[in-house]
Amino acid sequence: MLKIGLTGGIGSGKSEVSRRLAGHGAVVIDADKIAREVVEPGTTGLALVIEAFGRGVLRDDGSLNREKLGQIVFADPDKLRRLNAIVHPRVGERVAELQEGAPDDAVVVYDVPLLAENNLAPMYDVVIVVDAPDEVRLARLVDLRGMAEEDALARIRSQATREDRLKIADIVIPNEGPLGLLDARVAEVWAQLQKRRETATG
């Protein structure tokens, strides 16, 4: 099994890379997706979030209003740490379960937004960083996701700097151009990962 840590700042296009690697045959474990699952209605995770931040972070249907919660925690480092203390252990347990279910010869890609922030690089055989300049990421968040510029900047600033992410990269995937260029770069990276996997299992 070859363990790949995939990361990139918000708006970098990490999810696009993750989807393409899955298309090539990687087993993708998406920490963001799992983080949503562990705070779905009826979970202990959601009950703890309500206890910490109040019922005002819920939608009318009882589900978590992630946008409202984001506005609260990304403006206050202490509240962000409090949320992470609820969510991260539950995500870790689910990731371990999924890893155990993957084939022994798999290329397992862990899609981890906060890999640099949490010093997780040593956990992986290869760290891939999807990279785009901050101004490109900001434009994507505002234009494509409809975020207010202030909220987008708060999220960017709450994460590691571009330089800190690049320091831990074994492979960098630049993503500031059209998706066609991304397709070609991901295909190259997949070929590299296949060679590493063959060497590791050889």
Cα dihedral across residues 175, 178, 179, 182: positive or negative = negative
Residue-averaged pLDDT of the chain: 92
**What does the pLDDT average to over 101-123?**
91
> How many CB atoms within 10 Å of residue 152?
21
Question: What is the pLDDT at residue 164?
Answer: 95
- In this predicted structure, the answer to whether residue 107 has a pLDDT above a threshold of 90 is yes
For the chain, what is the total number of helices (H) and then of strands (E)? 9, 5
Our count of domains for the chain comes to 1
What range does the domain containing 9 cover? 2-201
Q: At 150, which CATH number?
A: 3.40.50.300
Question: What is the pLDDT at residue 202?
Answer: 63
Each residue of 5-59: pLDDT tens digit?
Answer: 999 999 999 999 999 999 999 999 998 899 999 999 999 999 999 999 999 999 9
User: Could you tell me the CA-to-CA distances from 25 to 53, 114, 178 in Å, in that order?
Assistant: 40, 24, 23
